[in-house]
């Protein structure tokens, strides 16, 4: 699994001109899923993201996690995170899982993330044409690939 984590002051997801998710302080998390991803990847990544100390403490130092900051989260599935641009100018998405594999992993990740965070998170709509809006705070943007965890 690949994740792009963005610390935000606000973020929202709109589908067909209807806002389906909206948060203030928290994280916008884009998730890319491959066929090889499994429960170990879900467990490791959800725990890693929830506990990343990327929110400022009272001294302005990034020393607080999402839990410590009492922040919210939006999780959005984004197959384009697995784009290969090695050949030509048209990206290949061959490594991205098809919906029948990706949807259960995506739902499992959301569930595990919510249990790690201790509260409900908002989500995008899998497979939809989404408009994602955010105000990146910092800016703080972190990329994590579970294939690089060891």
> Catalytic residues, which ones?
80
Output DSSP code: residue 59.
Answer: T
The gap from C-alpha 52 to its chain's centroid, in whole angstroms, comes to: 13
Largest CA-CA distance found in the chain, in angstroms, rounded: 48
Non-local CB neighbours of 46 within 8 Å, separated by 6+ positions: 109, 112, 113, 116
From residue 47, give the alpha-carbon distance in Å to each of 42, 81, 118, 129.
8, 20, 12, 28
- With tokens 């429960």, the residue in question is 39
């Amino acid at each position: 699994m690949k994740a792009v984590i963005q610390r935000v002051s606000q973020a929202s997801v709109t589908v067909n001109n209807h806002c389906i998710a909206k948060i203030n302080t928290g994280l916008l998390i884009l998730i890319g899923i491959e066929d090889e991803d499994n429960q170990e990847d879900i467990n490791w990544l959800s725990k890693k993201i929830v506990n990343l100390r990327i929110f400022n403490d009272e001294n302005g130092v990034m020393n607080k996690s999402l839990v410590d900051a009492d922040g919210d989260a939006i999780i959005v599935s984004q197959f384009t995170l697995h784009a290969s641009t090695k050949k030509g100018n048209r990206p290949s998405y061959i490594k991205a899982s098809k919906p029948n594999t990706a949807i259960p992993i995506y739902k499992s990740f959301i569930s595990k993330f919510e249990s790690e965070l201790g509260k409900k998170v908002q989500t995008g709509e899998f497979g939809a044409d989404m408009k994602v809006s955010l105000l990146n705070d910092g800016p703080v943007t972190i990329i994590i690939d579970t294939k690089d965890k060891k």
